[in-house]
Structure 1
Amino acid sequence: MMAYRFGPRLAGALAALLCAGQALAATVVPADHAHLQYTGRIDHADAAAPVLSWPGSSIEGNFTGGTLAVRLRDQYGKNFFNVFIDGDLARPVVLRAEEGSKTYAVATGLAPGPHRFLITKRTEGEEGATAFQGLELADGAALLPPPPRKERRIEFFGDSITSGMGNESPDDGPDHRLEDKNNFLSYASIAARELGAEAHVISQSGIGVMISWFPFTMPDFYDQLNAVGDNDSKWDFSRWTPDVVVVNLLQNDSWLIDREKRLLPVPDDRQRARAYKRFVERLRSLYPRAHIVCALGSMDAVRPGSKWPDYVRAAVEEMRREGDGRIDTLFFEFTGYQAHPRVKQHQANAARLAAFVRGKMGW
């Protein structure tokens, strides 16, 4: 089995992955078991193998017995998952899902009594989709009723910053390694936990509002059930309604329009603000009662002298003049760091966002 190196925050946390047939469990828990709790835009068309594609999608539950194994069928062999046991959020078991179907041993030798697990998708749609095929527990063990669902809900629409691209890489390390991408430690997921809120994360590295590093934009992508590229899948917005919506977009637009000159003719200031406003208005039409936070940062789109925060302000101010009283702006400070934010920056941005939302929502 090939070994994978992780940043210092995950030192010692990577478990050995065991192939199907090596797992120690004997009690099979199917993926459609009533005690499994799913969170995120997850495709349940095949109840025996629900598909996770969006970053931060999760499965959790309570169980008995001394062992736990997870059955996955991965599309490309590029996805990474966290598995947390008994609420130990500082020491995840990190799984790299190999292409195809495999069973991965997560925990052995657990003490007698009840235990809990949380599985979260570290990576995003560009790494492909993963079908969850159930669990294997110790002989005679059982799945228990799940924890109660959180009552608060927050949804994020963003790019690589929201996904957590490169956040576990060293400060002087590369941004592109899949093992260093961890949505669980993005500002979005951290803030949701601080607020005691259930989160949906709709993000894609490289995406923009007017232009992306690929042929589709967030206005093409935001309503999909499946996050693997631009596709015809449709999310049913009536299934889950957020109390708060956070939009953190335009970083890629800033690079591709101003630096790369890839959008011609070059939109003027008013066109940029209007394109952003049109997307936020789509979200408002879906969520008429949600509080919308139009955020930006903390990469160089918010550097001193940048006009991109002005486009966000202009869009929000116009919506307010038109009668929208539940919309605000929030800008995460550019620290001068030129790469994707690392965990410490995500933590700072999460604290700022959580405090802002508490003030607006009374949470």
Structure 2
Amino acid sequence: MNRKSNFPIDFVVTWVDGNDDNWLKKRSLFDEKNADDKTKTRFRDYNLFNYWFRGVENYAPWVNKIYLVTDNQIPTWLNLNHPKLVWIDHKQIMSEINLPTFNSSAIEVNLKNIEDLSEHFVLFNDDMFLNAPVKASDFFWHDGKPRDSIGLNAIMPVEDFDHVVANNMIIINKKFDKFQVIKSNFFNFFNFKNGPLNVYTLLLLFLPRLTRFYDLHIPYSILKSEFTTVMSENNDLYELTSRNRFRSIQDITIWSVRYTQLAKGLFKPRRYNFGKFYDLTKTEIIVKDIKNSKHKVIDINDSDVISSQEFTELVYDLKNAFDIHLKHKSEFEL
């Protein structure tokens, strides 16, 4: 099967250097008492971002453009002259009245404003890495539908972010009837590629509303036209999220776009274990995954139980693991 696609597929990745003095000073100017960042872990920089680019060059050479979205920050080692790379400052996609922002949800709901962004794009965070060769059809099927895995899930409130998930689901339940969604997508919901997600769906099948879709926490394939439509139809929530400088229980996220694609059946089923979500407490397992390329994409999330000293040691272990397959500089590096 051809690794390329008949249509362009872009990658979009957001990045922040939480150690940057200028960024820290800017952040300190704003009231953080209502901010949903109880720890510094959300902004700790792994200093592994060069491996993200090495992974793209080695494992997805077919990508059309890479849009790097930052708050006027550029990695010192980055080659901005690479023909596939486009650097996007927040000012290019958000109203100045809403800047600066330290709210990842606000940034992501505005990615639709990237000039020349292709209809088909994949959204990465800077802690999501390609871990093995991937084909264009791993992200978008030949007919242009996003690849995804579907399963029902429930909101089990633990933290403030669960309010945001509920906000996304309000959008979905106002627009879609649960049983019509399942009827129209029966063989997507109950598909061997969904693995254990089939069990979650079965257990939640008879509840009257959609409680949540299962979130895999890996790069998401997004149709720009659906993205634009969802934000337009929910403009008040979009504008409110854009104004919130820090994460808020009032926010919506780009997940509302993914949920809409799933509810409409605008996707082609993909194996649930295509990617894997980890946090740094599982570093030993992550290192094995990287060495063996067990999953094609991995998300390495920080953890607030990891001290600064432990963080440095664990990131060093990750760097050594990445060096096994991605030791050599990419053309994205100076």
TM-score (norm 2): 0.26
More strand as a share of residues = 1
Point out which structure has higher relative CO (alpha carbons under 8 A, 6+ apart): 2
More helix as a share of residues = 2
